[in-house]
């Protein structure tokens, strides 16, 4: 899963290395950062330096300063697209893949079908594919196959630039992990197909082939889970039929009705017993 390099971004604004992140929400940015006073072009270079130094929190804070800078509102769309592209690279370095894809989409929307736009479309798909690959590791069968330890009940979240989970812990793995991973792979496929339609290249084709293999794998895992559930239900039904006390356990009302019927029968039996001696005497006479 290759991504475009920093050198291409500097020379032709092609792309960087890994995944972007959109600016933090208002709830995460109080108080507001001081606006950056330099040009957007200079800001792009500074952001690259922070990302390459693995100063992810600093990179996130710096990007926020650029987004509120006076130079940002008057910058040409090309410069904004290039900066969004660099933001994506910084966020990718922090392995914040969903946010990286958002930044790549922003760059794509501002750069159209140019070289930068095509690279942005490719990166959006690559970032989402990287995110899907990580979600795939939340599937119990995959973890067992990869010899990874079982996940804690709520151990996952979407990492931010600094690597900390974003949002409630366990939010993304709360539902069926196979369904969650499938959704991520389908999202990656949509972005990669957009890039492929603009002119297929080897990296895009390779990533699409990987997505197809992963989706088939998920279908097979889902089929196996359904078979196991069916077998478990059949065994449970069979065990219930073989249990001699199952009927009483399952229907206590029926047991009570049976008891009442026996009591009523006992009340009628003495009369029948009283008649039997007379009948015997008559037969003796």
Place of tokens 């090309």: 78
Please enumerate in sequence order all residues whose Cβ is within 8 A of that of 250, keeping only pairs 6 or more positions apart, or say none. Answer: 240
| Angstrom distance (rounded) from CA 94 to CA 87 | 11
pLDDT tens, 186-234?
999 999 999 999 988 999 999 999 999 999 999 999 999 999 888 777 7
Of all residues in the chain, what percent carry a pLDDT higher than 90?
A: 55
**CB-CB contact of 146 with 112 (8 Å):** no
CA angle 108, 167, 60 (to 5 degrees): 50
As given in the structure block, the two tokens for residue 94 are: 């922090």
State yes or no: pLDDT of 280 exceeds 70: no
As given in the structure block, the two tokens for residue 168 are: 């409630």
State the DSSP string of the chain: -----HHHHHHHS---SS---PPPPGGG--SPPPPP-S-HHHHHHHHHHHHHTT-HHHHHHHHHHHHTSHHHHHS-HHHHHHHHHHHHHHHHHTT-HHHHHHHHHHHHHHHTTSHHHHHHHHHHHHHHHHHHHHHHTTSHHHHHHTTPPPPPTT---EE-TTS-EESSTTSTTSS-HHHHHHHHHHHHHHHHHHHHHT---HHHHHHHHHHHHHHHHHHHHHHHHHHHHHHHHHHHHHHHHH-TTHHHHH-HHHHHHHHHHHHHHHHHHHHHHHHHHHHHHHHH-
pLDDT tens, 68-88?
999 999 999 999 999 999 999
Residue 168 pLDDT class (50, 70, 90 cuts) = very low
**CB-CB contact of 99 with 89 (8 Å):** no
State yes or no: pLDDT of 31 exceeds 70: no
State yes or no: pLDDT of 182 exceeds 80: yes
Phi, psi of 34 (to 5 degrees): -70, 135
User: So what's the pLDDT on residue 7?
Assistant: 43
**CB-CB contact of 136 with 214 (8 Å):** yes
Please tell me the pTM assigned to this model.
0.68
């Amino acid at each position: 899963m290759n991504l475009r390099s920093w050198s291409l971004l500097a020379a032709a604004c092609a792309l960087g290395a890994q995944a972007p992140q959109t600016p933090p929400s208002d709830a995460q940015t109080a108080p507001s950062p001081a606006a950056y006073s330099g040009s957007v072009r200079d800001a792009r270079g500074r952001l690259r330096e922070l990302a390459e130094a693995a100063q992810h929190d600093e990179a996130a804070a710096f990007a926020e300063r650029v987004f509120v800078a006076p130079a940002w509102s008057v910058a040409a769309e090309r410069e904004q697209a290039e900066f969004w592209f660099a933001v994506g690279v910084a966020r990718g370095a922090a392995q914040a893949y969903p946010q990286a894809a958002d930044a790549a989409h922003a760059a794509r929307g501002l750069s159209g079908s140019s070289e930068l736009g095509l690279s942005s479309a490719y990166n959006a798909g690559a970032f989402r594919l990287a995110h899907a690959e990580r979600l795939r590791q939340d599937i119990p069968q995959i973890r067992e196959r990869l010899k990874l330890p079982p996940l804690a009940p709520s151990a996952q979240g979407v990492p931010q630039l600094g690597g900390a989970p974003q949002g409630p812990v366990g939010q993304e793995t709360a539902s069926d992990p196979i369904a969650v991973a499938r959704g991520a792979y389908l999202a990656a496929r949509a972005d990669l197909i957009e890039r492929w339609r603009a002119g297929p290249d080897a990296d895009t084709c390779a990533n699409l082939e990987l997505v197809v293999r992963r989706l088939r794998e998920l279908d097979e895992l889902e089929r196996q889970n359904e078979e196991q559930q069916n077998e478990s239900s059949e065994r449970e039904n069979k065990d219930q039929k073989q249990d001699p006390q199952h009927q009483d356990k399952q229907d206590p009302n029926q047991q009570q009705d049976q008891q009442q019927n026996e009591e009523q029968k006992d009340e009628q039996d003495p009369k029948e017993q009283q008649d039997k001696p007379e009948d015997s005497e008559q037969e003796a006479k």
